[in-house]
Chain A
Amino acid sequence: MAEWLKLIDKARSRSIWMLMYCTGCGAMEMPPAMTSRFDMERFGIMPMATPRQADVILVTGYVTKKTLKRIIYAYEQMPAPKWLVAHGSCPINGGVYWDSHATVNRLDLFLPVDLYVAGCMPRAEANMKMFTELIDMVAKGEARGWEEYEKNKAYYKENQRKLFGYDLVFTDGRSAL
């Protein structure tokens, strides 16, 4: 069984589809990674339009309180296994927007982060390093943020409730958006 799961992880690591949802300025660093100079598709990474078909969501810049709601909705719609990458310094500790009234400084209080990329902005080389690192983590079965989210759902939901003041998704399926 374990060998079989390892084989599945290996296969997953070479077919990572990334949700085309970028916040803040980091989206500007994606076109070089997609186009011919760095060409992330040689690793099997390609952009995907909807959360239900995507494996990884990149949070590529400052996370405003308003955007975080949409990120949580998108993340919860993605099928497991799913990974979340905090890209740039803003999702890590607020970055240059640490005292802004609109931004949320720490993303990992509200969603499990599998991989951090520091920098403001991370260059395209750092992006490629991020992708190869993510591939290695997935192949070894180390990126388990989605499991952590399910296990510690009470913790994350409590933090989200404290931030927004209400539940994002009610028990009867209605959303607060």
Chain B
Amino acid sequence: MRVEEVVKAIKDKFGLEVENPYPRRLRVKIPVDGKSDEERRQVLRDLLQYAKEIEFQHMSFITCVDFIKEGRFELNYGLWSYTIPTMLVVKYDLDRENPKHITVVDIWKPAKIWEQEVHEMFGVEFEGNPRSFEPYVLEDWDSIPPLRKDFDPVQYLKEHPMQGAGYDPLPYANLVEKNLEQPTVQETGGDEGANS
């Protein structure tokens, strides 16, 4: 199957326009069009399933983009084909206030870890992927997900002065007084002091 045929097949089956902005890249956006979340999720899952059946062998990534002014998250599902070497990116819009979504792990296994990452960095909940609720790289995280646009890292460091010490001179006042004795070599006997 060639690239033009993939574009035509997706258009025929789902009625979605596939962009081909530059060589080796295809983009398809799942529009809102007044449809309910369930219908759009079903379109997304059918499209990912169909892409797997035709020409695409590898899920490269799931990423999330925070469009804070428009109040939406955009999920990007990247599928790579080794045979026609081309990347197909499927774009899906989520409500930013209530980011609940459905997993695609049963179709694409690599989604397990990508969804885990998106959950940790953006707080999107993937129903049906229990691993996505486990921490991914952050340990003991106690704030809103760090890659959201309304997360303020400078404010976070002010609340965590031990971590942010170094550019802000204030935290030093809170540090414990250090014992400033000069360290000496342990003496095990001998005729003269060993303070060298």
Contact = CB atoms under 8 A, between A and B. Distances in A.
Nearest to A163: B162
7 contacts: A1-B189, A1-B191, A2-B193, A155-B177, A158-B176, A162-B162, A165-B140
A26 to B, nearest CB: 18
Contacts of A152: 178-179
Given A155-B178, A164-B140, A2 B166 contact: no
A151 interface: yes
B173 interface: no
Interface string B42-56: 000000000000000
B110 interface: no
B153 A159 contact: no
Nearest to A98: B167
A103 B154 CA distance: 12
B68 interface: no
Given A109-B162, A155-B179, A159-B176, 7 more contacts: A2-B190, A99-B153, A99-B154, A101-B151, A105-B164, A109-B175, A152-B178
Given A101-B153, A151-B179, A1 B192 contact: yes
Interface residues of A, number: 35
B156 interface: yes
B138 interface: yes
Contacts of B190: 1-2
Interface stretch (B20-28, B31-39, B59-67, B180-188): B180-188
A65 B163 contact: yes
A109 to B, nearest CB: 6
B107 interface: no
Q: Ordered nearest first, which 9 A-B pairs have the shortest CB separation? A: A1-B190, A105-B166, A147-B183, A163-B162, A93-B166, A106-B166, A2-B194, A158-B176, A155-B178
Given A1-B194, A165-B140, A155 B176 contact: yes
